[in-house]
C-alpha cells in the first residue's frame, strides 16, 4: 500500500479485569489510505464498534499503535485527541444526534462554534454545507419539522462543515427506509468521490456496504476478511430532492 492516512498495528482493547475481563479487540492491523471508502462489517460483539471508537479518537487502545497522518494517537492527551477530532474528523450517527430545539443552521454550526470560529464564518460555512446536501432553504427548520432522511442530511452537513479529512459513519442508514437509505448513501458516495473525503462506515446491511470500494469484516475481535469490492455501486438510485422550504 501507499503511505496510509490511518494505521493500526497490534491494536487491542480490554474492558474490565479478572473474571469480568472482555477482550474486545485482539491485535488489529489495518491501513486506510486517504480517499478510500471502507465498509466495516461484522455481527454484534465482533469488535467493529470498538474499532470505530478508537479510529474516531473517542476511545484509546489498551495496547498497540494508532497512527493518524504519522502521529501516534495512542500517546496523545485527551485535549490533543479532541483537537485532532475537531480538525480532521466528522461523525455521522444512526440516531442523528441533533439538538431538538435548535435549527438546522445552528446544529450544523456547532462544530465551528466549538472550534471558536466567528458567527459570520459559521453562518456562511453552515449554509454552504446544507446546500451541498440538498437542504438549501431549510436552515431555520428544527429536527421536529424534518423527515428522518432530512435529519440525517443535516447530520451529514454538520459532519462536513469543518471540511474534515475523514467522515466516520456509524450505521448511518439504520433508522431510515430503503429509499432514504440510498439517498444518504448517494451523499456519502459523492463526498468521497467528488471531494476526496475518506469515508469509514460501520454497517450490517450488505446493500449499503455495496457502495464501498473495500469491506473489512470483523469477527470475535479480529479482522476476519479485508477485501476489495470488485463491483461497488457508483450511483444511488434516482430520487426526488426535497423542495426548498418557503
Percent of the chain topping pLDDT 90: 89
Asked if pLDDT for residue 56 goes beyond 80, the answer is yes
Instruction: Output the average pLDDT for the chain.
Output: 93
Averaged pLDDT, 22-30: 96
**How far, in Å, CA of 138 to CA of 118, rounded?**
22
Supply the pLDDT for residue 245: 52
Supply the pLDDT for residue 238: 63
**How far, in Å, CA of 226 to CA of 213, rounded?**
11
CA dihedral 215, 154, 180, 146 (to 10 degrees): 160
What contacts 217, CB < 8 A, 6 or more positions away?
Answer: 41, 42, 223, 224, 225, 226, 227
Per residue in 126-184, pLDDT tens?
999 999 999 999 999 999 999 999 999 999 999 999 999 999 999 999 999 999 999 99
Asked if pLDDT for residue 1 goes beyond 50, the answer is no
**How far, in Å, CA of 191 to CA of 93, rounded?**
16
Domains of the chain: 34-63+78-228 (3.40.50.300)
What contacts 4, CB < 8 A, 6 or more positions away?
Answer: 31, 32, 33, 67
Task: Give ∠ CA 69-73-78 in degrees, rounded to 5.
Answer: 130
Of the candidates 215, 209, 191, 233, the one whose C-alpha atom is nearest the C-alpha of residue 35 is: 191
Per residue in 108-125, pLDDT tens?
999 999 889 999 999 999
Which residue reads 479487540 in cell numbers? 25
Of the candidates 1, 176, 192, the one whose C-alpha atom is nearest the C-alpha of residue 90 is: 192
**How far, in Å, CA of 156 to CA of 161, rounded?**
9
Asked if pLDDT for residue 242 goes beyond 80, the answer is no
**How far, in Å, CA of 133 to CA of 153, rounded?**
6
Of the candidates 96, 97, 119, the one whose C-alpha atom is nearest the C-alpha of residue 109 is: 119
Question: How much is the pTM?
Answer: 0.91
Amino acid at each position: 500500500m501507499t503511505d496510509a492516512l490511518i494505521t493500526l498495528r497490534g491494536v487491542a482493547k480490554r474492558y474490565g479485569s479478572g473474571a469480568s475481563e472482555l477482550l474486545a479487540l485482539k491485535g488489529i492491523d489495518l491501513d486506510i489510505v486517504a480517499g478510500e471508502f471502507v465498509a466495516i462489517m461484522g455481527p454484534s460483539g465482533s469488535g467493529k464498534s470498538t474499532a470505530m471508537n478508537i479510529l474516531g479518537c473517542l476511545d484509546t487502545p489498551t495496547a498497540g499503535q494508532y497512527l493518524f497522518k504519522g502521529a501516534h494517537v495512542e500517546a496523545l492527551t485527551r485535549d490533543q485527541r479532541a483537537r485532532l477530532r475537531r480538525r480532521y474528523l466528522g461523525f455521522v450517527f444512526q440516531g442523528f444526534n441533533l439538538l431538538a430545539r435548535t435549527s438546522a443552521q445552528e446544529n450544523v454550526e456547532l462544530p465551528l462554534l466549538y472550534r471558536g470560529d466567528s458567527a459570520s464564518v459559521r453562518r456562511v460555512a453552515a449554509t454552504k454545507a446544507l446546500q451541498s446536501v440538498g437542504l438549501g432553504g431549510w436552515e431555520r427548520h428544527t429536527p421536529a419539522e424534518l423527515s428522518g432522511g432530512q435529519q440525517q442530511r443535516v447530520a451529514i452537513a454538520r459532519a462536513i462543515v469543518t471540511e474534515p479529512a475523514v467522515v466516520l459513519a456509524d450505521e448511518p442508514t439504520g433508522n431510515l427506509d430503503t429509499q432514504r437509505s440510498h439517498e444518504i448513501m448517494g451523499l456519502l458516495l459523492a463526498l468521497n468521490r467528488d471531494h476526496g473525503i475518506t469515508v469509514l462506515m460501520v454497517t450490517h446491511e450488505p446493500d449499503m456496504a455495496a457502495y464501498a470500494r473495500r469491506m473489512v469484516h470483523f469477527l470475535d475481535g479480529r479482522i476476519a476478511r479485508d477485501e476489495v469490492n470488485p463491483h461497488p455501486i457508483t450511483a444511488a438510485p434516482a430520487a426526488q430532492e426535497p423542495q426548498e422550504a418557503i
